[in-house]
Amino acid sequence: MFHVERSTQNRIIKGIVSILLIIFVLQSCIGTKQAFMIDDYYISENGKEVLGTKPLNAFIFENNLKNLPFEQFLAIKYKLDNYLTREFWITIDGDKYKLIVYENSEFDKYFGFSNFAVQNQENIANIVGGQPKFIAISMINEFNEDCLSNKSMFQNKVTAYLKNLKDEYIQFKQ
């Protein structure tokens, strides 16, 4: 028969407990990643790439989950054919711009949900549809220039337009 002495068995148990304790201490020392809270809006880099451009910048804001979905709001406001339209042309002061709305999966791919923290938590009963917690929008002009880039001469005009669009959506009652 196989026989283990009691002192050897105690050393093995103490060794295993020590290793588990060390692993626990090391895990607790690892810092968590700080998530960014968006007060009004945030312009982020490294969004989608459109033909002939570098990764676009995006205007990001926290969604009002009690409102109707943002895509429906856009369809009503701009009289779009359907709610699934994510890219369409608009005119601001006589200039044409393409508004590009990110899908939920694209938002996670380009910006990552874990990088942002939600300020306004909602009960599941209050949420209308399966809405994302954050909305990201990029804009290009008719020459495929990133209008939200720091180098763009359209940045202030487009940012002000998107901020007004966001505020209109947040206040929208159907």
pLDDT tens digits for range 149-170: 999 999 999 999 999 999 999 8
Q: Are 165 and 88 in contact (CB under 8 A)?
A: no
pTM reported for the whole predicted model: 0.76
pLDDT over 90, % of the chain: 47
Average pLDDT, the chain: 84
Per-residue confidence (pLDDT) for residue 153, from 0 to 100: 94
pLDDT tens digits for range 41-81: 999 999 998 877 789 999 999 988 878 889 999 999 999 98
Closest CA to 169 of 37, 38, 77: 77
Q: Rounded to whole angstroms, what are the CA distances from 142 to 36, 49, 65, 87, 97?
A: 32, 15, 32, 13, 6
> What are the tokens at 114?
């874990």
DSSP-derived 3-state class of residue 140 = strand
